[in-house]
Structure 1
């Protein structure tokens, strides 16, 4: 099913929208490093500040022409759930993530709207039993403060 990225709403009330503590911590960190800017840069991220988040972090390079997303960093928790390390791969090469998918559309919406998004109803398609859904929090990063060149993603997994 094709989704319109423009119809995906950014997070307006993080306290009400983010249910998972891991994603709430990630949003708090992202918000703190952006200061008064609309979004932080990749160079603002300091792994020493967020050791508890590292296994759940994904960094995606934003490719503009044609639109795609390249996995720059994939946390060990993702690797455990899916049985593979997608570092270096394009999102368009992955069946459950390429367009049209909710994850793809949410990533496109973050790039277009330059605001974090929390896509809903993403089914779990990993290899581990006992999980039903994922909650990805997708946050923009920008080298120049305007154009999104990277996505900072944390993913939490919902038990069945």
Structure 2
């Protein structure tokens, strides 16, 4: 026997934004080294070119690196993970070469879009630490840096993400 009238509407889940701050110091060696690499490649410019990022120069960091195309279309922002590091995909699933909104729930996509919008405003590397709020994985903590990239040097149209994950209670927690 059915219960209720069958008129229940799905509720949109709202998650807090990813709290970002200017990236000054990082705890995770991978995130710290990724930020140092970005700064080296920026070479005093506002941001490095996509072509400046050479995977063969950072093989140890590749599992922690995700590279997003940022596509603005009629006021909306699409994040397209061109390359996704193995560590990122262990947490979020296979996302590379797929529009983010086709592989992640809307509330997670909105968090990442919010982070990208903040990057557009700041135009400098930003750092965050917190708990993963995807797929009931709040037992996983993260430290990340997102940093601007450009295809041509004229506009910010890509985002470099370097992210490290740890379990809550690890001896060296991310702070």
Q: TM-score, normalised by structure 1?
A: 0.81
Moved over 6 A (4+): 2-5
**Which residue is 1:10 aligned to?**
22
C-alpha contact (below 8 Å) 1:41/1:142 kept by paired residues: yes
**Which residue is 1:81 aligned to?**
91
1:109 aligned residue (103, 115, 118) = 118
Deviations 1:122-145 (A, max 9, x none): 4253688x9521222111101333
SS for the counterpart of 2:129 is coil
**Which residue is 1:140 aligned to?**
148
- CA distance, structure 1, for counterparts of residue 63 and residue 21 of structure 2: 27
**How far does residue 25 in structure 1 lie from its aligned partner after superposition?**
0.2
Larger CA Rg, structure 1 vs 2? 2
The correspondence of residues 1-160 of structure 1 with structure 2, limited to 5 A, is 1=14, 8-11=20-23, 14-15=24-25, 18-65=26-73, 66-82=76-92, 84-93=93-102, 94-95=104-105, 96-99=107-110, 101=111, 103-123=112-132, 125=134, 131-160=139-168
**How far does residue 108 in structure 1 lie from its aligned partner after superposition?**
1.4
Q: TM-score, normalised by structure 2?
A: 0.74
C-alpha contact (below 8 Å) 1:106/1:117 kept by paired residues: no
Q: How many equivalent residue pairs?
A: 151
- CA distance, structure 2, for counterparts of residue 21 and residue 37 of structure 1: 24
- CA distance, structure 1, for counterparts of residue 17 and residue 134 of structure 2: 22
CA RMSD in angstroms comes to 2.6
- CA distance, structure 2, for counterparts of residue 126 and residue 54 of structure 1: 24
Deviations 1:100-151 (A, max 9, x none): x2x33222111222111112324253688x9521222111101333411111
**How far does residue 19 in structure 1 lie from its aligned partner after superposition?**
1.5
